[in-house]
Chains A and B, each alone.
Chain A
Amino acid sequence: AQSVTQPDIHITVSEGASLELRCNYSYGATPYLFWYVQSPGQGLQLLLKYFSGDTLVQGIKGFEAEFKRSQSSFNLRKPSVHWSDAAEYFCAVGAWVTSYDKVIFGPGTSLSVIP
């Protein structure tokens, strides 16, 4: 069955420091992978997505993610974190179901940013 794990429940980083959020997935076929961000009171916003091709994907707000098939990972990175990046981050995999993608989300990683 398809699944997503995010090993870190909560991460705290200092503003200006680099960030890496871990994500591992389980999916039998070619995965379609996503990272979403959820700020308090806001809906989920897509940061980036991977389908094929270059395994390093650039997203919005300076985020990037790298797909590593051998490790079944899709880690999210940002070189310099801003206070406004504090939010909940969700990794997700798209599982094809006949005619559409059922998106399966991980449990999320909560990011706190220290000024």
Chain B
Amino acid sequence: GAGVSQSPRYKVAKRGQDVALRCDPISGHVSLFWYQQALGQGPEFLTYFQNEAQLDKSGLPSDRFFAERPEGSVSTLKIQRTQQEDSAVYLCASSATSGGDIRGDTQYFGPGTRLTVL
């Protein structure tokens, strides 16, 4: 596709339910990032993939959060036993390169998934 897509765009979950959020990055992009954006705040880093390898998961707020990218393209962010504090917009971004001498490679963002936990 032309850009990063995310699905669903909106998700309402009851507290305690598990949810899965999908990200389709730009074709061929090596790097994939997940961010959490609370209402009125800037995006906060959750995790980073380089191809299928999850190189950094330091931003995941608890062990209820799990992300995967098994084939190095589509990624899924899973939240188990959702809590009200998980309500946020979850953003996915991809970039073409993996770093090296390409600093500050442009990250292209999807529209996000707005998760509301009741």
A43, B103: Cα distance in complex, Å = 22
Q: Do A100 and B31 contact each other (CB < 8 Å), given the known contacts A44-B91, A90-B42? A: yes
* Shortest Cβ gap from B49 to chain A (Å): 10
Q: How many residues of A contact B (CB 8 A)?
A: 28
Q: Is the CB of A32 closer than 8 A to any CB of chain B?
A: yes
Question: Do the beta carbons of B103 and A51 come within 8 Å of each other?
Answer: yes
Q: Is the CB of B105 closer than 8 A to any CB of chain A?
A: yes
Question: Do the beta carbons of A44 and B104 come within 8 Å of each other?
Answer: no
* Shortest Cβ gap from A88 to chain B (Å): 9
Interface of A is mostly: strand
Chain A hits for B56, CB < 8 A: 97, 100, 102
Question: Do the beta carbons of B41 and A108 come within 8 Å of each other?
Answer: yes
A41, B33: Cα distance in complex, Å = 19
A44, B106: Cα distance in complex, Å = 11
User: Which residue of A has the minimal Cβ distance to B44?
Assistant: A105
* Shortest Cβ gap from B4 to chain A (Å): 7
Chain A 75-115, CB within 8 Å of chain B: the 1/0 string?
00000000000000010101011111111111110000000
For the complex with contacts A32-B103, A100-B31, A100-B56, 6 further pairs of A-B residues with Cβ separation under 8 Å are A43-B108, A43-B109, A44-B43, A94-B104, A103-B45, A103-B107
